[in-house]
């Protein structure tokens, strides 16, 4: 037998925990057992079978110890490829415009005034939707709107596409999902009534940049008018209906993080069930604010305060990139810009020079320079990832990371090889297991 590459031993609540990132299992070790295990790792794990056979057999049964001939990395590859190549789903993201009503300082996109989805591109997108949902293999289709601010031209560009999606999915008995990434400022009765009148559901990701005045420093209409209270009011209006789920994304920095926990007080009127089923607070650090400090700890503290008030939260260390990969990692996913340019990842600037393909007039996706196959094969080529205990959780981030580093030939680690940062990921997973059993 051999000690699994994916094991970690970390301090947890005044004891030690043994966690396996592939099995997602944890056991808590008495000091004596931890010492025996550490000695076995050092001197030969099979010696443990003679010293403490019951402990040794238990570790085998729970796959903390595995057959010495098992290729653990290959097992992760098989799971990852099965999920990434799932033929039953398609994820389509459309940018109706690259224009926006805000100018957030950290936004990586080039905002283009008067950019909007032309009738010819809308027609081509609808043709693509029909061709895709009519395939017998496709059981579920997700249509998501990004940008720019996708609600700028909601009536002109968005509703015709949703109408077509609903019609075609019902025709071909395909399940569908509708989602928006929006700043939330333009949410109004027209938007709400569109979904309520048609008995449709939608998920919305809406961003906060801190609490109150901190938010208004980043997202404002003008120098004297912020947006925090309007966005809170708009979310409250959404949550009156069962048609909507809101992921409140908190973009935090070392400056705005301290009072973020107060945002939940705006929604204290919700029932305990509504807090759990209608709203999620999702913490993400602004990528330009990457100083090495204790900001992530403060974010965790904010999340815990929110949880004590009954709200669901998610923090950056709670990753599961193999079992739940980014949409862009999946073969059946695409992002179509307002002008028909084709992309995979939305976390990059939508300049035409960055496009990886285009949408034809007949509604076909053309991936240039064999980009799709190149991306699908990009994972598992980074040596540090193949040797890492977090591979089944992290998988090197996403395929965008893999593609970009493969182009430069650089080895990389999204945690910069910092074992303490990796321990934080392990601890977050252990906490999830413990909380689920509570």
Write the CB contacts of 117 (distance below 8 Å, at least 6 apart in sequence). Answer: 94, 96, 97, 125, 153, 156, 157, 338
Average pLDDT (357-381) is 95
With a cut of 70, say whether residue 105 has pLDDT above it: no
Q: What is the pLDDT of residues 245-295, one digit of tens each?
A: 999 999 999 999 999 999 999 999 999 999 999 999 999 888 777 776 788
> Which has more confidence, 416 or 25?
25
Percent of the chain with pLDDT over 70: 99
DSSP at 321? T
Percent of the chain with pLDDT over 90: 78
Q: What is the pLDDT of residues 319-355, one digit of tens each?
A: 899 999 999 999 999 999 999 999 999 888 898 899 9
How many CB atoms neighbour CB 9 within 10 A? 16
Coil, helix or strand for 76? helix
Distance CA 211, CA 250 (A): 9
Spatial contact of 334 and 344, defined as CB atoms under 8 Å apart: yes
How many CB atoms neighbour CB 279 within 10 A? 20
Mean pLDDT score across all residues of the chain: 93
pLDDT classification of 204: cutoffs 50, 70, 90 = very high
Rounded to 10 deg, the angle between the 119-133 and 159-171 helix axes is 20
Average pLDDT (41-68) is 95
Q: What is the pLDDT of residues 126-169, one digit of tens each?
A: 999 999 999 999 999 999 999 889 999 999 999 999 999 999 99
Q: List the domain boundaries for the chain.
A: 2-70+378-437, 87-368
Average pLDDT (195-219) is 95
Distance CA 377, CA 345 (A): 16
> Which has more confidence, 67 or 349?
67
Q: Any idea which architecture 87-368 has in CATH?
A: Alpha-Beta Barrel (3.20)
Q: What is the reported pTM?
A: 0.90
């Amino acid at each position: 037998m051999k000690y699994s590459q994916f094991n970690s031993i970390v301090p947890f609540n005044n004891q030690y925990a043994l966690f396996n990132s592939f099995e997602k299992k944890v056991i808590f070790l008495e000091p004596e057992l931890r010492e025996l295990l550490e000695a076995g790792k050092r001197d030969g794990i099979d010696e443990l079978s003679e010293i403490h056979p019951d402990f040794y057999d238990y570790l085998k049964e729970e796959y903390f110890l595995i057959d010495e001939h098992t290729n653990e990395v290959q097992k992760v590859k098989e799971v990852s490829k099965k999920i990434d190549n799932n033929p039953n789903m398609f994820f389509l993201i459309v940018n109706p415009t690259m224009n926006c009503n805000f100018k957030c300082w950290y936004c990586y996109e080039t905002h283009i005034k008067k950019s909007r989805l032309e009738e010819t591109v809308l027609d081509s997108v609808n043709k693509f939707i029909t061709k895709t949902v009519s395939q017998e293999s496709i059981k579920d289709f997700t249509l998501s709107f990004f940008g720019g601010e996708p609600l700028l031209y909601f009536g002109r560009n968005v509703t015709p596409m949703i109408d077509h999606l609903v019609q075609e999915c019902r025709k071909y008995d395909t399940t569908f999902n509708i989602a928006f990434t929006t700043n939330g400022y333009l949410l109004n009765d027209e938007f709400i009534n569109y979904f309520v009148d048609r008995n449709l559901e939608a998920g919305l990701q809406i961003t906060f940049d801190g609490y109150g005045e901190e938010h208004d420093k980043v997202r404002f209409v003008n120098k004297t008018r912020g947006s925090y209270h309007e966005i809170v009011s708009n979310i409250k209006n959404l949550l009156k209906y069962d048609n909507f789920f809101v992921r409140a994304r908190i973009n935090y920095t070392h400056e705005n993080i301290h009072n973020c926990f107060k945002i939940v007080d705006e929604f204290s009127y919700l029932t305990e069930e509504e807090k759990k089923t209608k709203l999620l607070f999702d913490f993400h650090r602004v990528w330009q604010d990457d100083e090495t400090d204790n900001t992530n700890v403060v974010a965790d503290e904010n999340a815990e305060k929110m949880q004590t008030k009954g709200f669901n939260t998610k923090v950056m260390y709670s990753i599961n990139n193999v079992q739940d990969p980014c949409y862009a990692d999946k073969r059946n996913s695409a992002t179509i810009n307002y002008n028909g340019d084709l992309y995979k990842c939305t976390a990059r600037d939508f300049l035409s020079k960055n496009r990886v393909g285009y949408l034809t007039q007949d509604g076909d996706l053309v991936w240039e320079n064999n980009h799709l196959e190149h991306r699908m094969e990009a994972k598992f080529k980074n040596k540090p990832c193949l040797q890492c205990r977090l591979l089944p959780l992290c998988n090197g981030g996403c395929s965008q990371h893999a593609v970009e580093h493969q182009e430069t030939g650089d080895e990389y680690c999204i945690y910069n090889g910092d074992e303490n940062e990796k321990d934080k990921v392990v601890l977050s997973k252990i906490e999830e297991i413990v909380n689920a059993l509570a």
